[in-house]
Amino acid sequence: MLHIIWYIIIGFIAGFIAEHVMHFRTGHLLLTTILGIIGSIVGGLIARLFSKPAEGAPFHPAGLILSIIGAIIVVFIGRLVGILS
């Protein structure tokens, strides 16, 4: 249960920082958190390119830095495609 709370906290922090870096405001706490969680998944996929996750783990833990980078990539691609304005 605590790892879910940790994902939410890291997701919010990553989403908040990515919003400020990209000058993009969702204006909603939940959307910022979801942006950060999706960014964390993208960051985990990037981390998987450079190192293998622990044996039996389905995902690679991204950490805060890669979560922020992933969230920035999500905002960039969202703006490029036109989903995020």
62: exposed, middle or buried (C-beta count within 10 Å: 0-12, 13-18, 19+)?
buried
Domains of the chain: which residue ranges? Answer: 2-79
Q: What pLDDT score was predicted for residue 16?
A: 93
Using alpha carbons only, what angle is made at residue 61 by residues 81 and 77, rounded to the nearest 5 degrees?
5
Which pTM does this prediction carry? Answer: 0.83
Q: What is the pLDDT along the chain (85 residues), one digit of tens a residue?
A: 788 888 889 889 999 999 999 988 887 899 899 999 999 889 888 888 887 767 776 666 668 889 999 999 999 998 889 887 7
Identify residue 55 by its one-letter amino acid code: E
Q: What pLDDT score was predicted for residue 61?
A: 63
Q: How far apart are CA 26 and CA 49, in angstroms?
A: 30
Neighbours of 59 (CB within 10 A): 13
The owner of tokens 């940790």 is 6
